[in-house]
Chain A
Amino acid sequence: MSISHTPGFLAIELDGAGYQDLAGAVLAAESAGFHVATFQDAPRAGRANALQRAAFAGPITRTIAVVPEVDTVYTEPFHISTQLASLDYVSGGRAGWIATADESPEAAAAVGRSFVSGEALAQEAAASIEVGRRLWDSWEDDAVIRDVATGRYLDVDKLHYADFETPADFAAAPYSVKGPSIIPRPLQGQLPVLAAASLVGEGLVPVEAVDAVLVSAPTPGLLTAEIRDVRARLGGSLAVVAELDVVLDARGQAAEARVASLPESGRARYAGPAAGLVELLDVLLGEADGIRLHPAAVDVDLEELSRLVLPGLRRSGSLLGPLQDGTFRDLLGLGPAQNRYATTASGTGN
């Protein structure tokens, strides 16, 4: 069967890889042909910091994008911006950010802040993303001039204060961030920012603040409808990534038997043989720009995905090839990131 839609990308969530087998897991995912590795910031025992796991993966990989979840509510926006820019440097421009808004009272207690809920969560997320983006732009691309004649390492006219202040109607504790960043503009200019579709839209995180949304539904059957709804609600410019749990028949054990021991995730789940997953992904890639797979057990399911599922999708033409020397922006089809502060228009005369 040949398909008529444009090929899409596949992401794999590596939270289950912990830190002991992290290098092995991310290399296996890259070899299998996954385009993106994501790292959940799960408040689970045994899970190391997501951004650092992504950073560890950066230098040992070549094509796969490394995209951690980072909370926007109980973290310092200034630190996050610096850390993510640094992740872009250590991965050669393959970094992204899944901006999350932590809803747990435990996260608030850990940093001694009041618990944020409801509408305020999206406001915190929007503010943190805005701080991040302003700081990334706060050095123009050519701010480091190394001009021996004048003794200037920097062109100060190309550095800008972010001067962020939370809006007047901010429901949580207000704050401000001065800037400029303490690291030059990241390699991609702006890292792609992803967020759950439920966090984005009118009265929430503005559509223009994110580059892609993660779409979730309770069953595979409802996922297609949900993707269409999200596109209709948020407009056509955003990349849409569908979330799917996978449990495959593996190592002589039926998927159904493995499912019994799994906790509920709230996401659509495929459980069964690899061939069925190829069919489902073929269909879903006709609707979404990419799919993020959450394997039940990284080592077990990744093996099956690598041997049976991705080759099947490549044969059917639904899957993008690996992006050689590309950035995460390239993968998402985003053009070069304009700098909001740029003092000199690029490529023009006067």
Chain B
Amino acid sequence: MTRDIFQPSGQIQFGIFFQGVNSGTVWKAAESGSQTDFESFRRIVQTAERGKFAAFFLGEGLRLREHLGRPHALDVAGRPDAQTMLAALASVTKNIGLVATQNTTYNDPADLAHRLSSLDLISGGRAAWNVVTTDNAWTGANFRRGGYLDHADRYKHAEAFVETAKRIWDSWETAEGPARPVLHEGQHYTVDVTPRLPRSAQYRPVLFQAGDSPEGRDFAARQADVIFSAHPKFDDAVEFRRDIVARSVAAGRGANAVQIMPASEFILAATPEEAEEKKAWVRSLQIGPQQAIAYLEQFWGRELSSYDPDGPLPEIDPVVEETSETRGSGFHGAKARQLADQWRAEAKDKGLSIRQFVTSKTARIDSTFTGSYSAVADHLAEYARVGAVDGFNISPWLIPTGLDDIVNHLVPELQERGVYPTEYRGTTLRENLGLETPVRSEHSVQV
């Protein structure tokens, strides 16, 4: 059955991931703009659209990151609500997809489904939902239900949530209605709603998923259209594709049913030498001496400001057993003591200072494409040829000009190689990604 055999499309697409938090976004350079002004968003989304990007993503974090019990001071923080910003950007763009990262634990299904189909209709069929499942009492402290969900249940809950949302989106029989009421009785709450909105030009919002555990991958294989993955390096990407194809087929979907777009960073210039120089400059701005110490402090659970960032790693032991979620999902649950021993040995081995060591750990080494425009274009064409990925979700390290070199120089190189779109295929995100119209979900299904 050909449905079970993966067929590379021979194409790659780009999305932009406007992070809004973390150390990846450089705020210390003269050209670093505002992270909240609408003009920053307008400029970068319009640049992306000029470069025929498939999608514009916004991340989400529902509690301000903390460090040693206080808000974290060193990195970019504070960002607009995803769907509010995307609804605004819908009025100043035409073709680019608008992807909102939204959490299944701290939203209500009927409300979120309604808001997502509102965005979908307002934008003419360009909305998508990047499903994330971050769950912890610390984030729950901002919400009526509090920290009600066990970590082990997060995907069970997420899947029931997504199923309910799909039934809400499918509930209008025709463009004029009427809607079928949607009922769901779950472990944590019930939903009983008569949906208000018809299907959009792309039928329903596209579903992205970001989460890397085996349960997360299975959830994506069953439910998602696209995975926002953490596997951009070539061999790793090929392996991840194999894994997702197997899981999709096992879930009864086609081998090509789920697309993959890894998170990535691009540091480009006309020559490889310039690109390497630029990379050193970017890294020095991402991880300064204070960030290097603070990074270790989260794993040590104590203040380390008396340590020299250009000296060796602290010899004292961490005071915590496990790192907490307070700096975001990436830091959750690491075994601190074990890690400290391992890191001290590694840094000593390689002769790295605190700052050099932290840079090597945090600089998204694994997700970075560095080089000349033409060399990186050749490299990406190879991804397209074998179908390692369907595209890259680029986190610009500079706002709002961080896509200029990519759109002005890399995109034309890719277009010359025939691996990148020269025009939008259509006006909806589903068309532009080449996704099939979804099958109507079974309204009788009990989840």
Contact = CB atoms under 8 A, between A and B. Distances in A.
A144 interface: yes
Contacts of A49: 114-115, 118-119
A47 interface: yes
Contacts of A85: 80-81
Contacts of A86: 80-81, 84-85
Interface in A6-55: 19, 22-23, 43-49, 51-53, 55
Contacts of A87: 84
Interface stretch (B191-199, B271-279, B338-346, B415-423): B191-199
A152 interface: yes
A154 B289 contact: no
Interface stretch (A74-82, A224-232, A293-301, A325-333): A74-82
* Interface band, chain B: 35 or more
Q: Which of A46, A91, A112, A154 has the most CB of B within 10 A?
A: A112
Contacts of B192: 109-110, 112
A111 interface: yes
B119 A111 contact: no
Interface string A133-159: 000000100001010101111111001
A76 B177 CA distance: 29
Interface residues of A, number: 63
B121 A19 contact: yes
24 contacts: A19-B118, A19-B121, A45-B177, A45-B179, A46-B177, A47-B196, A53-B122, A55-B88, A56-B91, A57-B91, A58-B91, A59-B91, A59-B92, A76-B107, A76-B143, A82-B81, A89-B85, A90-B85, A110-B191, A152-B73, A175-B143, A177-B141, A178-B142, A180-B71
B125 to A, nearest CB: 12
A16 to B, nearest CB: 15
A176 interface: yes
Contact of A90 (B71, B84, B291): B84
B27 A182 contact: no
Contacts, number: 185
B63 interface: yes
Contact of A89 (B38, B122, B198): B38
B211 interface: no
A182 B62 contact: yes
B191 A111 contact: yes
Contact of A144 (B74, B78, B177): B78
A178 B27 CA distance: 27
A153 B143 contact: no
Given A111-B189, A152-B74, A153-B73, A44 B122 contact: no
Contacts of B177: 45-46
A59 B122 contact: no
Nearest to B193: A110
Interface in A272-311: none
A173 interface: yes
Interface of B: 27-28, 32, 36-38, 42, 61-64, 70-81, 83-85, 87-92, 106-108, 110-111, 114-115, 117-119, 121-122, 141-144, 146, 177-179, 189-194, 196-198, 288-291
A83 interface: yes
B90 A56 contact: yes
B90 to A, nearest CB: 6
Given A44-B196, A153-B74, A182-B62, A90 B27 contact: no
A177 B289 CA distance: 34
Contact of A46 (B38, B84, B107, B197): B197
A257 interface: no
B142 A146 contact: no
Contact of A151 (B36, B74, B89): B74
Interface string A152-185: 1111100100000000000001011111111110
A184 B73 CA distance: 14
Contacts of B142: 78, 177-179
A155 B73 contact: yes
Contacts of A48: 117-118, 121-122, 197
A190 to B, nearest CB: 17
Given A19-B122, A182-B61, A45 B290 contact: no
A23 B122 CA distance: 10
A60 interface: yes
